[in-house]
A = this chain, B = another copy of it.
Amino acid sequence: MTDEPETKGTSRRAFLRGTAAASAGLVAAATSVRAEGADPLITEIQPWAQGFGDGVDATPYGLPIKFESDVVRRNVSWLTADVISSINFTPIHALDGTITPQGCAFERHHSGAIELSKDDYRLMINGLVDTPLVFTYADLERFPRESHVYFLECAANTGMEWAGSQLNGSQFTHGMIHNMEYTGIPLRLLLEEAGVKPEGKWIFVEGADASSNGRSIPLEKALDDCLVAFKANGEALRKEHGYPVRLCVPGWEGNMWVKWLRRVEVTENAVESREETSKYTDTLENGTSRKWTWVMDAKSVITAPSPQAPITHGPGPLVITGLAWSGRGTISRVDVTVDGGKTWKTARLAPHSHDKALHRFYLDHLWDGSEMLIQSRAVDSTGYVQPTKTELRQVRGVNSVYHNNCIQTWWVKSTGEAENVEVS
């Protein structure tokens, strides 16, 4: 496009006009470029309209277009000893809406993603039950199913923020999360089939991988909304998401959503496994640790603008957008500040407010081109308000790794670039 620089110039002038004309506060969009009558769009046949594109045989199963090759999961080499026990962060800075495609949805393994066929798959229910049972995959397909959109957040998401802002990018600070439509069988039905004995108060769930990643879950939660899931976003779970069957523990920390689910044992007491004692507990200022902090409290983050998604235009209309969620219900409100918390505006929430699922928010802002300290603050359906980092540290200290749901701050410079910073 030979007119590119000129178009950009025109565009910039139009934005400035828009800025000057608009009154303070919410903006009617003024992001327009006049068609000067000789635009190549009308008078020339564009190169991509001069021939045929790909036929439908090219895409029996499609992948993102090559221009989007940056929108992928990413891991951080120094975070874990090896990639088989590591974390792959969702590129939330580049996504919109609420659904996370499986192909780029957060994954975390403790001994790698195993390959397990439906034919080889078995699920055992044993322990304090009337009848120990083993289900094949085909058996599971015959039980009544449900479909729900749920978020899965790792307890360690945003964990580096305890010690201070270190990671530059919402993908890395908040990308241990995904949001998918899960289809499966209420765990309650399988437990009822086995018959839970009166002394059974907990379940212990295990995966079929080498780590087994065993976790204890109170029976009450198991009988409430846990799903033995085999599909996500309509299709089979991907290998790295636990094909063919994983557990969903809605609103609770991701480590409990055991993948390649092989065993559910009904027990009288919690097992106190490695994954719920030396890991996934929250060490306080005095050196003692909180355990059983399963629920993911209300939280939000601005995904754009953010360090990986800088503003690439001048002053004028700017969409500020992000995600909010709560393990205790829905999100009732998200407020956004551009001045580090001095003043707040209520953002628009996209529809489809699902229980224990990601919510998308938008604030249509008129940017004056000066630097900003932008933050979002979620309020959930219980009335709980997302805390500041200072408030969280006052209660919990800085020794923890897990359950950091603090308000996140991005410093947006006048250049449009953004950095992860702390405000007092």
Contacts and interface: CB of A to CB of B under 8 A. Distances in A.
Interface of A: 1, 4, 7, 11, 28-35, 37, 39, 41-42, 46, 48-65, 67-68, 71-75, 82-84, 86-88, 94-105, 107-109, 111-120, 122, 124, 126, 131-136, 138-149, 181-183, 189, 192-194, 208-210, 212, 230-231, 233-236, 238-240, 243, 260, 262-263, 312-313, 316-319, 321, 348, 350-352, 354, 360, 362, 364
A46 to B, nearest CB: 6
A315 to B, nearest CB: 11
Nearest to A15: B142
Nearest to A73: B60
Given A50-B210, A56-B73, A145-B319, 4 more contacts: A1-B119, A29-B144, A143-B317, A144-B364
A30 B190 CA distance: 10
Contact of A67 (B88, B117, B194, B212): B117
A312 B235 contact: no
Contacts of A54: 84, 109, 112-113, 239-240
5 contacts: A29-B144, A59-B240, A95-B235, A147-B360, A181-B352
Number of copies: 2
A34 to B, nearest CB: 6
Contacts of A29: 142-144, 189, 193
Nearest to A351: B148
Contact of A7 (B55, B63, B84, B136): B136
Given A1-B119, A98-B147, A103 B61 contact: yes
Given A1-B120, A107-B59, A144-B29, A133 B84 contact: no
Contacts of A319: 141-145
Contacts of A7: 134, 136
B71 A236 contact: yes
Nearest to A184: B96
Contact of A60 (B48, B72, B116): B72
Contact of A41 (B67, B263, B350): B263
A33 B231 contact: no
Contacts of A55: 82-84, 86, 109, 112
A147 B96 contact: yes
A221 to B, nearest CB: 19
Contacts of A59: 73, 88, 107, 113, 238-240
Contact of A183 (B72, B96, B210): B96
A146 B360 CA distance: 9
Please provide the 6 A-B residue pairs with the shortest distance between their CB atoms, ordered closest to farther: A55-B83, A53-B112, A56-B88, A53-B114, A60-B72, A52-B112
Given A33-B136, A111-B53, A101 B98 contact: no
Given A64-B61, A99-B181, A35 B75 contact: no
B34 A60 contact: no
A97 B262 contact: no
Contacts of A208: 46, 48-49
Contact of A181 (B50, B61, B97): B97
A156 to B, nearest CB: 14
A5 B174 CA distance: 47
